[in-house]
Amino acid sequence: MNFFTDSLLSALTLMRDFDPELVEIVGVSLKVSLSSTLLAACLGIPLGFAVGIREFPGKRTVVTLLNTLLALPTVVIALFVYSFISRRGILGALDLLYTPKAIIIGQVLLILPVVATFTLSAISRIDARYRQTAMTLGATRFQTALVILREARFGIMAAVVAAFGRVISEIGISMMLGGNARGFTRTMTTAMALEYDKGEFVLAVALGLVLMSISLLVNVILNLFQGRGRN
Amino acid sequence: MKHCLTFAAGLLALLFLTAGTVQADGHKVLTMSTTTSTQASGLLDVLLPALEKDTGIQIKVIAKGTGAAIRDGMDGNVDVIFVHAKSREEAFVSDGYGTKRYPVMHNDFIILGPAADPAGIAGMKDAAAAMKKIALSRSKFVSRGDDSGTHTKEQSLWKATGLPQEKVLKSIFKKGKKTMVTFSHPKGLGDWYLSIGQGMGKSLTYAEEKQAYILADRGTYLKYKLGRNQGLDLNILVEGDPLLYNPYGVIPVNPAKHPHVKVDLATTFAEWITSHKGQALIANYKLLGEQLFYPDAIPDAR
């Protein structure tokens, strides 16, 4: 018990003092995760929207495929990306391995299916009458799309938040493609794994607390948005 | 229109974010794959700030087992490697992957075990004989099992015991060609032999939990025993056998194989670490008065 409370108290001290190492690691983690979430949102929302709004042959196959991709383990994605961006790979000349960009690429692949399927299901839940009404009122295709997007906005927002939660707590991709290089690609999760390797728990506990605070904050913000939307 | 603006703002924010993440990739950054022991022992925390001060070179450290680090060098994923498996390092240079091996330092391997010492090896001078006793008494033994320098040494010790060996063949693809790697360990393994595939640090804490025997490098052991609050509940039982000698080398990756590598910076680093300054830092790195590594380029550096 002593061991746990000691680690916890020292961790709180680290957080109170804005320990530079802690701040740096949290910074790298946030930058990488926000970038991959934004990119995945830019690609995944239109993708989910397009699949959700249209009827086309093979739609069920596409949906099944996206759902399957949801279950892809991070190490598989990391290995796949590694084989492309390692110097021996096709994209080797781009010098991507062991950079934050490499992590972002892997993470985008990880959460693109998350954003797309959540968007898709949010869109499918919108009553078809919205669309018909908008069209009969003379809306263009673009305006109709906006109406539907507006109706589905909370579902889509939830998709983006879930995706962010997935990447900020993810470790396989960050470790294998980022390499846990201090000051460059050391994220909260890889730093925690290293501290555990070293048998030191203080920084790891502090990072765990920060990670949980961030996810709490994100969810509180989402909740506020949804509350305002209902009024 | 408003939505277009939001979209544009989002893209701008994205650019800003990604720009922020790559800011650190200046041109004086060297990428180095190294063995876990140089990082876990705390040595790099002493060397790298001094290197940056003297030469302006920042090192991006990727810590893996020696085997994986050498592979990173062969693939050209890094500019320089800092590892400990001399025969494999020499092969790395003679096969044209590295420009030159700079001998940097050495320490030694030690066999650790619980105070109870079920195999009765405490104080033995012959490492192979001690390993044999561990195997015959089927006492718990933790193996790195990760193709690292320590794992390489462990396998050579098992061979030296004269016990019947079992070879595990694993096929991996190198340059599109199937290559076989072999691991060897005593025949007829049971639950006494725990091959965990982890770095030195994690293997030590694992062995402590299981109260098992383990082969470790002295640097990491001292760091774990003396350099942290928790300490380590394992003792040195066997040391001093010439078989346990553990030299480390730095090798810049050869630009003839991989033209993009920063061979100038890598050579500057190799020369710095073998200079009087670098060697003295290595010699003077101590934990509670215990020296972890001994310089090889300038043995009497202080």
CATH number, position A101: 1.10.3720.10
Residue B198 token pair: 């982890």
Contacts with B136 (C-beta within 8 Å, 6 or more apart), sequence order:
B163
pLDDT 10s digits, B198-230? 888 889 989 998 999 999 999 889 988 988 777
**Is B204 found in the same domain as B137?**
yes
As a whole number, mean pLDDT of residues B272-288 equals 94
Rounded distance, CA A89 to CA A57, Å? 35
Rounded distance, CA B212 to CA A135, Å? 73
Chain B residues at the A interface, defined by Cβ less than 8 Å, are 3, 10-11, 13-14, 17-18, 20-22, 24-25, 29, 31, 36, 40, 58, 60-63, 75-78, 175, 198-199, 201-202, 204-205, 224, 228-230, 232, 258, 260
CB contact under 8 A, A146 and B31: no
- pLDDT grade for B1, boundaries at 50, 70 and 90: very low
Instruction: Quote the pLDDT of residue B18.
Output: 54
Whole-number percent of chain A with pLDDT over 70:
97
Instruction: Quote the pLDDT of residue B25.
Output: 43
Rounded distance, CA A40 to CA B213, Å? 48
Measure Cα distances from B145 to A8, B76, B148, B215 in Å.
33, 24, 8, 11
CB contact under 8 A, B260 and A95: yes
**Is B129 found in the same domain as B70?**
no
- Is residue B23 in a domain? no
CB nearest to B62's CB, from A93, A98, A146: A98
Rounded distance, CA A75 to CA A66, Å? 18
SS (H, E, C) chain A: CHHHHHHHHHHHHHHHCCCHHHHHHHHHHHHHHHHHHHHHHHHHHHHHHHHHHCCCCCHHHHHHHHHHHCCCCHHHHHHHHHHHHCCCCCCHHHCCCCCHHHHHHHHHHHHHHHHHHHHHHHHHCCCHHHHHHHHHCCCCHHHHHHHHHHHCHHHHHHHHHHHHHHHHCCCHHHHHHHCCCCCCCCCHHHHHHHHHHHCCCHHHHHHHHHHHHHHHHHHHHHHHHHHHHHC
- pLDDT grade for B173, boundaries at 50, 70 and 90: low
- Is residue B15 in a domain? no
**Is B122 found in the same domain as B190?**
yes
**Is B263 found in the same domain as B201?**
no
Mark which of B205, B221, B244 sits at the end of a domain: B244
The number of folded domains in chain A is 1
pLDDT 10s digits, B82-112? 999 898 999 999 999 999 999 999 999 999 9
Q: Which amino acid is at A177?
A: L
Mark which of B211, B229, B244 sits at the end of a domain: B244
Contacts with A131 (C-beta within 8 Å, 6 or more apart), sequence order:
A144, A147, A148
Q: Which domain holds residue A141?
A: 2-227
Chain A residues at the B interface, defined by Cβ less than 8 Å, are 3, 6, 28, 31-32, 34-35, 38-39, 41-42, 86-88, 92-93, 95, 97-101, 104, 146, 179-185, 196-200
- Is residue B42 in a domain? yes
Interface probe, candidates B16, B18, B175, B223, chain A, greatest A C-beta count within 10 A: B18
CB nearest to A35's CB, from B18, B31, B76: B18
The number of folded domains in chain B is 2
pLDDT 10s digits, B39-92? 888 899 999 999 999 999 999 999 988 888 999 999 999 999 999 989 899 999
pLDDT at B20 over 60: no
pLDDT at B147 over 60: yes
- Is residue B272 in a domain? yes
Q: How far is CA B25 from the centre of its chain?
A: 25
- The Cα of A101 is separated from the nearest Cα of chain B by a number of Å equal to 8
Stated pTM of the model: 0.78
Rounded distance, CA B102 to CA B82, Å? 9
Average pLDDT, chain A: 88
DSSP annotation of B265 reads H
CA dihedral sign, ordered B123, B112, B88, B31: negative
CB contact under 8 A, B21 and A181: no
pLDDT at B154 over 60: yes
pLDDT 10s digits, A23-44? 999 999 999 999 999 999 999 9
Residue B261 parent element (H or E): none
- Is residue B218 in a domain? yes
- Is residue B145 in a domain? yes
pLDDT at B167 over 90: no
**What DSSP letter does each residue of B148-213 carry, written as one string?**
-HHHHHHHHHHHHHT--EEEEEEEEEETTEEEEEEEEEESS--TTEEE----HHHHHHHHHHHT-E
**Is B162 found in the same domain as B77?**
no
**Is B264 found in the same domain as B153?**
no
Q: Based on the number of CB atoms within 10 Å of its own CB, is B257 exposed (0-12), middle (13-18) or buried (19 or more)?
A: middle
Whole-number percent of chain B with pLDDT over 70:
87
Mark which of B203, B227, B244 sits at the end of a domain: B244
Contacts with A181 (C-beta within 8 Å, 6 or more apart), sequence order:
A98, B31, B60, B61, B62
Which CATH number characterizes residue B189's domain?
3.40.190.10
CB nearest to A31's CB, from B11, B21, B175: B21
- Is residue B1 in a domain? no
CA dihedral sign, ordered B110, B115, B117, B120: positive
Q: Which domain holds residue B149?
A: 108-244
pLDDT 10s digits, A2-17? 677 877 888 888 888 8
**Is B112 found in the same domain as B102?**
no
**Is B196 found in the same domain as B154?**
yes
In chain A, what is the straight-line distance between the N-terminal and C-terminal CA atoms, in Å? 47
Instruction: Quote the pLDDT of residue B23.
Output: 43
Instruction: Quote the pLDDT of residue A94.
Output: 87
CB contact under 8 A, B13 and A38: yes
Q: How do B165-174 and B58-64 pair as beta strands?
A: unpaired
Cβ–Cβ contacts within 10 Å for residue B207, how many? 26
In chain A, the residue whose alpha carbon lies closest to the alpha carbon of B229 is A200
Instruction: Quote the pLDDT of residue B8.
Output: 52
**Is B135 found in the same domain as B73?**
no
- Is residue B21 in a domain? no
pLDDT 10s digits, A48-100? 999 988 888 999 999 999 999 999 999 999 999 999 999 888 898 888 999 99
pLDDT 10s digits, B223-273? 889 887 778 999 999 999 999 999 999 999 999 999 999 999 999 999 999
